[in-house]
Structure 1
Amino acid sequence: MTSLRHNEPDRVEPRDSYLDAARDCILDVGWRRTTLTEVARRAGVSRMTIYRTWADMPRLLADLMTREWGDVVADSLAHDDPDAPTVERLVRDIVGTVQRLRENELFVRIVDLDPELILPYLFSRRGRSQDGILERTVAALREAQAEGAARPGNPVSMARAMLLATHGFVLSAHTMVDDQVSLGDLDAELALALTRSLQP
């Protein structure tokens, strides 16, 4: 996956190297068996170096997920067609992000081994990544409305409804796939539903 989190691709900040070590730990042994001590060992630094940055694993995980999901969105936007109509571009970005999340190895590992880590963001509160996605979506909706390409309405509530609609396609799409319906079929339906919901 292409990462857009650094202006200089070959430069790795210490904090990112620590998050990389945590990511490797979770991929190898899962969240429950990953400790700050093991992260420090893999990063090649002292345990206190990691503790000075994160007091506990939940805080480290929150930063790791924010970085990871932000990279997923950035990767989707990197494949964007800047000349496409605003609504078409927005829908393509959303569907592309859904697809990349489903394929992301860290996301898949968390859902398979530690799905309870995702539950707070579905039932209790929004995360930083969700807020970032909403901010981008609201901006795109305002642009589309100004062009007359999207229907009138509160872009904030429209963006939140769109995000809620995509949750199932990220987390549960596999339950709807069989010899009659493919993931591609479902994604096409998502694109159609989002497009029609935005038409003036």
Structure 2
Amino acid sequence: MTSHRHNTESEPGPRDGYLDAARECILDVGWRRTTLTEVARRAGVSRMTIYRAWSDMPALLGDLMTREWGTLVASGVEVATTTPTPDAIADAVVATVGALRDNELFTRIVELDPELILPYLLSRRGRSQELILEVLAAAIAAGQEAGLITDGGPQALARGLVLAAHGFVLSAHTMVDDDVDQSALDAELHALVSRRLAR
């Protein structure tokens, strides 16, 4: 799912290099052992340079996760400029869920520091979730205008689908075994989305 509003052509700035260094740290040693000092060392800059950009690690992590997940959403299947049918939107949702589930940074955080994800499931929406909701609601609204998607508030429909997708991102591995493989679960997610949006 692509949002051109969030897809710029500008060259990466210095902060992207610092975020790259933070990403490497988290992949290597996990969140708990990553410090702003270590990020500065890996980025080849002074500690004060990093401290001027972020006051603490949670602030840096928020920007890193927004960049990481936002990039996945922006590089997913385009639905805003194609015919927004229930099946096309379902394709985009399944592709985005799969990309998130397979992302190495996401996997590392879930494996080593799952508590970092909990606030976004239990307390508040993050910037990446807002981006996903924005793109999905816009696609649903476009499909409704074209008479292809069921009636209902686009925001409510989008939020319901994102809530359902959470389980397919975070818990799908608990449902995979000799009887049901990942492709079967992805097919169930596709059916869930397309049937909910069908007229």
TM bucket, shorter chain: over 0.9
Identity, % of aligned positions? 61
Q: How many angstroms does 1:89 deviate by?
A: 2.0
Match of 1:152 in 2: 151
Cα distance in 2 between the residues matched to 1:28 and 1:6: 29
Number of corresponding residues = 194
Q: How many angstroms does 1:88 deviate by?
A: 2.2
SS of 1:77's partner is coil
Q: How many angstroms does 1:76 deviate by?
A: 1.3
Query: Among residues 6, 9, 12, which one is paired with 1:7 in the alignment?
Result: 9
Cα distance in 2 between the residues matched to 1:146 and 1:81: 12
Q: Is the Cα contact below 8 Å between 1:81 and 1:89 reproduced in 2?
A: no
Pairing of 1:94-173 with structure 2 (within 5 A): 94-173=93-172
Q: Partner letter of residue 85 of structure 2?
A: T
Match of 2:34 in 1: 34
**1:55 matches 2:55:** yes
Task: Choose between structure 1 and 2 for higher RCO, CA contacts under 8 A separated by at least 6 residues.
Answer: 2
Cα distance in 1 between the residues matched to 2:59 and 2:80: 36
Q: Is the Cα contact below 8 Å between 2:54 and 2:60 reproduced in 1?
A: yes
| TM-score for the superposition, normalised by structure 2 | 0.93
Q: Partner letter of residue 151 of structure 1?
A: T
- 1:109-162 per-residue CA deviation (whole Å, 9 max, x = no partner) reads 000000000000000000000001101111101001111111111111111000
Distance 1:88 1:82, change over 3 A: farther
Q: How many angstroms does 1:74 deviate by?
A: 1.6
Cα distance in 1 between the residues matched to 2:172 and 2:14: 37
Cα distance in 2 between the residues matched to 1:52 and 1:121: 26
Match of 1:90 in 2: 89
Q: Partner letter of residue 44 of structure 2?
A: G
Cα distance in 1 between the residues matched to 2:49 and 2:38: 12
Cα distance in 1 between the residues matched to 2:84 and 2:64: 33
C-alpha RMSD of matched pairs (Å):
1.6
Q: Is the Cα contact below 8 Å between 2:72 and 2:99 reproduced in 1?
A: yes
Query: Unaligned regions of 5+ residues in structure 2, if any?
Result: 1-5
Cα distance in 2 between the residues matched to 1:27 and 1:148: 45
Q: Is the Cα contact below 8 Å between 1:87 and 1:150 reproduced in 2?
A: yes
Query: Unaligned regions of 5+ residues in structure 1, if any?
Result: none
Q: Is the Cα contact below 8 Å between 1:138 and 1:156 reproduced in 2?
A: yes
Cα distance in 1 between the residues matched to 2:147 and 2:83: 15
Q: Is the Cα contact below 8 Å between 1:86 and 1:143 reproduced in 2?
A: no
- 1:59-113 per-residue CA deviation (whole Å, 9 max, x = no partner) reads 00000000000111122136x6965553222111111010011100000000000
